[in-house]
Chain A
Amino acid sequence: MELCAPHGEASVGSCTRCGAFICERCRRWMSEKPFCAECLKRLGDRPSREAVWALGLATLGLLLWVPALVAFPLAQRELERIAQGRAPEAGRDFASLARALAGFVSVVGAVAIAVGLYRAFS
């Protein structure tokens, strides 16, 4: 029977990233895949800088519009990285909120600017 290194307990699988045997106590999850505690710590259990920036820029977009245009692709890319297990899961809520807000602000701002221009030149 395979044993995990940190505890010497019966393994229930192996880490998605490094392949180490993991017992139930070592096992952590990300995007429904098992990881060892060490790898999860390396990836981080906090939202990535990209995820926080995406939400920050989307928020700034509420007042200044343009940052929302940057936030949208940033949030989209971060969500893809999370799905691939390359960015911490903790950023998912940030990135999905950022994408929704940035999309909303981009569209509303674009319509408002279009209406303003139409009025100014007609």
Chain B
Amino acid sequence: MPTQQFALERNGPKRLEVSWSGLWKEFTVKLDGNVVGSWTKDELTAGKEVPMGDGSTFKAHLRRVGMGQELALLRNGEPLPGSAADPLTLVKTAGGVIYFLAGASALGGVIGLMGVDFAARLFGTWDGIVTGAIMGVLGFFTMQRSRVALGIAMGLYALSGLLVLAESASNGNPAIGGIFMRVFFLTAMWRGFKAMGQLKPSPAPEGERDRA
């Protein structure tokens, strides 16, 4: 039975627990151990909203995103910190994807350098390592919320995908499998790109605003 815990406030105690069984059956949400509500699979895909007792509302919504789906957990319309639709989570995921691609390229390059033929064909040798390092630098600045770095990483990854596709198509054997993987990773990066625009300033400026 999958269970996940969330805090209502960022970095706060994880008071909210969601659990379900199988493919989104018996979806239940508890706050401090007390049941707030339960959702059938249809209610979950429709996005049912329930009152939470402290005047706020809570909505669980299983929604389609690109080729996959995400479980959006919203309190008063705002994603819970750390949940799938949280902008900070989306940016972090985009950074993680770029680092994953960087690591894969560098690893492929190292294996290619050791003389393993298929890795050398797929990733190259030193060029694979250098590509990995470049992606790593873009990942580093993406983690620092640079939209430019994330945009460049997306562009490079999409462009290299097009080159692979064109090359494989000219060999009469288009690489369809790789496209799905690329679209998947590109979707994650694109969502991070959009989320960067929604990021609110962190707590300290808010504290200053309180005093003003």
Contacts and interface: CB of A to CB of B under 8 A. Distances in A.
Interface of A: 6-7, 25-32, 37-38, 40-41, 44-46, 52, 55-56, 59-60, 62-63, 89-90, 93-94, 97, 101, 104-105, 108-109, 112, 115-116
A40 B207 contact: yes
A105 B133 CA distance: 11
Given A40-B203, A45-B203, 7 more contacts: A29-B10, A32-B7, A55-B140, A56-B140, A59-B139, A60-B133, A109-B110
A110 to B, nearest CB: 11
Contacts of A31: 11
Interface size class of B (residues with CB under 8 A): 20 to 34
28 contacts: A6-B210, A6-B211, A25-B210, A26-B207, A26-B210, A30-B11, A31-B11, A32-B7, A37-B204, A45-B202, A45-B203, A52-B144, A55-B140, A59-B140, A62-B102, A62-B103, A62-B132, A63-B129, A63-B132, A63-B136, A93-B143, A97-B95, A104-B107, A105-B103, A105-B106, A108-B106, A108-B110, A112-B110
Interface in B1-57: 7, 9-14
Judged by DSSP, the binding face of A is: helix
Interface of B: 7, 9-14, 92, 95-96, 99, 102-103, 106-107, 110, 113-114, 129-130, 132-133, 136-137, 139-140, 143-144, 202-204, 207, 210-211
B164 to A, nearest CB: 22
Contacts of B106: 62, 105, 108
Contacts of A26: 207, 210
A66 B174 CA distance: 39
Nearest to B95: A97
A32 B12 contact: yes
Contact of B207 (A37, A46, A56, A63): A37
